[in-house]
Structure 1
Amino acid sequence: MDTPHALTGKIALVTGAGRGIGRAIAGRLAHDGALVGVHYGHSAAAAQEVVAEIRKNGGRAFPVEAELGVPGDADAVFAAFDAGLRAERRDRGAPGEGGDVGADVEGSLDILVNNAGVSGSGPVGQTVPEVFDRMIAVNAKAPLFLVQGALPRMRDGGRVINISSLASRRSFPESVAYAMSKGALDTMTLCLAKELGGRGITVNTVGPGFIETDMNARRRTTPEARAALAALSVFDRIGHPSDVADVVAFLASDASRWVTGQYLDVSGGSDL
């Protein structure tokens, strides 16, 4: 799927876009024509690299800095997003898509991708309250309140895309708190899809399997370990971030207008 103009005139926010799957999603949405807010929590250098790469390739993007999983995180994200969008429009010397943001942010967002997440909870016997709370705060609570903050800004016909995990559909007892947090995200998708349908806003979940990112690098430290992960897929390989980004691009486009409340398995057949 290669549709460089499918998202022209759209504005997107991708959380956790400084690396891995989020980086690939930001790049793909920009390639398709969207102006992309590249959110990051800590690594400014990585996010700036993503923005620079998008601009080098002819796309448009700006960084959005705010830590997730802390009090006021959603408000901080949108304060940074609004500021970045204003600066982007000033640089272009025109109001831009959706009208001048100014004090009124209505119509300043079309696509929200809740990608940011944390992992590493361990089995039940090793799970501690602090880790559980962190998983829920970043993987479930933050996306809920980001959607809440997005809705006044989002134009009718918008898109909410939540990045979940195969762990919410298949047993991974070594990551119980992580799996629980992603299960909560899946349920949120169902509720919001029904609530927001009247505005033409679709809400869907993308569930990756093992994708080659920093998050699971510890599970790929030997050739044997890599082979074991690859063998989970019917294609006998570990997924690439672009495998997920291409599905997100479909959900962000008008081609997915009749798809909502769905969990799209993007695991290379790992659940078969």
Structure 2
Amino acid sequence: MGGKLSIVATPIGNLGDITLRALKTLEQADLVAAEDTRHTVKLLNHFEIKKKLVSFHEYSNEARYGELVGALREGKHIALVSDAGTPVISDPGYGLVKRCVEEGIEVESLPGACAAVTAVTLCGMDCSRFSFYGFLNTKSGVRKKELGEIRDAGKPCVIYESPNRIVKTLKDICEVCGKDVRVCACRELTKVYEEVVRGTAKEVLDVFADREAVKGEFVLVVGAARHVREASEEEIVRALQESLARGMTKKDAAAYVAALLGVPKNRTYQILLDL
């Protein structure tokens, strides 16, 4: 009899959000593969579930993959959990699921808590269509390029952010997407100090920039831009010169500025050739 991998969503804060099906699966599984066993053992202890735990995270090596896939081949039932929310969504798990699919091992996913979906329901924007970006790149240039894509998406986009980078990211949103773009910032979702701040990017920035310390994980919903102004040739030239001064190649500078300012890449490249 073949094994089974169960993707189990766990609470993002409030333990009352665990589902009955998730509890039953955790009780029945032969072992639990957890992003951080120290975190997951607290969840299991709270619900009086005694289960073998193994660590499985984004840095897991080939030996750990082999161990888990081998157990599944032998008919074991493994429950995959992350520290909070639904595994694979900006959390470890994709590689293991991929291998199971390739080998014909049964995979099931248990619906449950997801910070991105929770924020979307709270934002007050039309999210009948939205894009999920997860955590943006920590490098400023790449992050601004990603924000250029968000600005031009024509629909709300969801971003995850840490408390130590939230102010910087909101400043970048103001710069790239515009100060008036709608933003909903959700902090500490489902926890005791849950906070939801809605307004323009500038208004939301002002709220958190004025605090001495910002704590808790964030989910940002960035609204669709109402209108993107056509960048002038002077703005493109200035951005290209700044990019080249930072050591970018001409090809990379043209692509970066095109995404940053929302203009065709062939236009930025032609202007670059004429400099």
Q: How high is the TM-score relative to the length of structure 1?
A: 0.31
Computing the radius of gyration over CA atoms, which structure comes out larger, 1 or 2?
A: 2
